[in-house]
């Protein structure tokens, strides 16, 4: 039995050392990288948010799966020149505490509204959603149309995305979601995720970090290496289908508000996106633009999924257009 016991003991030792390394490194990161915004306690949990600029309507920005307020650091200062803008870290990301609640769209918008009340950011809002958070922004507008004056959607997920895209791509993504649900939290706890992120050994993450300015990359890597990041990313992956169904159901029973709406689509395939999938996603985004009589669909031909990092000026301009239309419509 020695041939079995020795490797098992070595494995247990490596895992134990990895967990200790991860705990120490996470504490070090917390001391080294302080939150750039404000941290507020709500029901005993810390929430991190950052407000810049003045004026109304206030722009409320949400990130894609795994994203933090950092994703908008090329956009937020520019938008702050013409109105007030709030970015924040959803529960479990960045400097916001973990949540034990399922990370569904319904739960996320409930938490966001509570945050906005606590920090006294009054409606109406211009909501900006990117990727997964496009589901959150739209569900917010369906539930609370009187609070939403405009919207910008940045290469967002669609509730019919798995129904109308090629079966092979859907199966691949669902298998990946299932894998992430179980594997990423373990990798996070034992320090393996931190190791891979540090040495740019995760192609998707490495490509994302290259989009950040060099001065921001150490902080971005630290946030993606946190133990809570792995757990939260898995929770959100497990809830994607539920969030899609929540939007499907409400779309059948409630009209989308008649508001200024700009939907941006990636024009270049990246990650696991093929040209066929990209074209279908663009068609689904056109469908979203048609939800509002004031909707406009724009394809960003020179950029992939992370438009706010690849071509931030496109997102800034879309937000500016929506804000100006909102202001014009509110004038006597």
Is the Cβ–Cβ distance between 205 and 71 less than 8 Å?
no
Structural domain includes residue 41:
yes
Exposed, middle or buried, 267 (CB in 10 Å: 0-12/13-18/19+)? middle
pLDDT at 203: 64
84 within domain boundaries: yes
pLDDT in tens, 118-164: 999 999 999 999 999 999 999 999 999 999 999 999 999 999 998 88
* pLDDT for residue 330: 75
Ranking 105-114, 179-188, 239-248 by mean pLDDT, the lowest is: 179-188
Question: Would you say residue 9 lies in a domain?
Answer: no
Count structural domains, the chain: 1
pLDDT over 80 at 29, yes or no? yes
- Residue 163 is assigned to a structural domain of this protein: yes
Most confident of 13-17, 108-112, 217-221: 108-112
pTM score above 0.85: yes
Domain that holds residue 211: 33-330
Residue 307 domain-assigned?
yes
* Mean pLDDT computed over every residue of the chain: 89
> Residue 23: inside a domain, yes or no?
no
Q: What is the pLDDT of residue 204?
A: 66
Lowest mean pLDDT among 86-90, 168-172, 228-232: 168-172
Q: Report yes or no on 17 lying in a domain.
A: no
pLDDT score at 332: 61
* CATH assignment at residue 188: 3.40.50.1820
Q: Is residue 21 part of a domain?
A: no
Average pLDDT value for residue range 269-280: 85
Distance CA 130, CA 60 (A): 12
Given a cut of 80, whether residue 199 has pLDDT beyond it is no
Report which of residues 4 and 94 the model is more confident about: 94
Q: pLDDT band for position 300 (50/70/90)?
A: very high
Residue 10 has pLDDT above 50, yes or no: no
- Express as a percent the part of the chain with pLDDT over 90: 63
């Amino acid at each position: 039995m020695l041939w079995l016991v020795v490797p098992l003991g070595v494995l247990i030792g490596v895992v134990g050392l990895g967990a200790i390394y991860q705990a120490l490194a996470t504490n070090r990161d917390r001391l080294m990288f302080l939150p750039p915004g404000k941290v507020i306690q709500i029901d005993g949990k810390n929430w991190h948010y950052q407000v810049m600029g003045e004026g109304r309507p206030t722009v409320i920005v949400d990130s894609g799966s795994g994203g933090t307020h950092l994703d908008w650091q090329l956009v937020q200062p520019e938008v702050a020149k013409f109105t007030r803008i709030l970015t924040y870290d959803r529960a479990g990301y960045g400097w916001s505490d973990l949540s034990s609640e399922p990370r569904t769209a319904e739960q996320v918008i409930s938490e966001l509204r509570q945050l906005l009340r606590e920090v006294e950011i009054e409606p109406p809002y211009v909501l900006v959603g990117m990727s997964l958070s496009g589901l959150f922004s739209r569900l917010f507008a369906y539930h609370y149309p009187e609070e939403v004056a405009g919207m910008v959607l940045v290469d967002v997920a669609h509730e019919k995305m798995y129904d109308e895209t090629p079966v092979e791509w859907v199966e691949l993504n669902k298998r990946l979601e299932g894998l992430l649900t179980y594997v990423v939290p373990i990798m996070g706890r034992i320090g393996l995720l931190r190791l891979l992120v540090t040495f740019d050994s995760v192609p998707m993450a490495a490509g994302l970090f290259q989009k950040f300015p060099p001065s921001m990359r150490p902080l971005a890597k630290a946030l993606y290496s946190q133990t809570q990041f792995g757990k939260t990313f898995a929770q959100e992956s497990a809830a994607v289908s539920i969030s899609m169904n929540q939007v499907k159901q409400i779309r059948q029973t409630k009209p989308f508000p008649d508001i200024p709406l700009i939907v941006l689509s990636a024009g270049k395939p990246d990650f696991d996106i093929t040209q066929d999938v990209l074209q279908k996603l663009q068609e689904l985004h056109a469908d979203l633009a048609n939800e509002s009589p004031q909707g406009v669909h724009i394809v960003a031909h020179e950029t992939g999924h992370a438009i706010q990092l690849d071509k931030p000026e496109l997102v800034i301009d879309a937000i500016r257009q929506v804000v100006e239309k909102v202001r014009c419509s509110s004038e006597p």
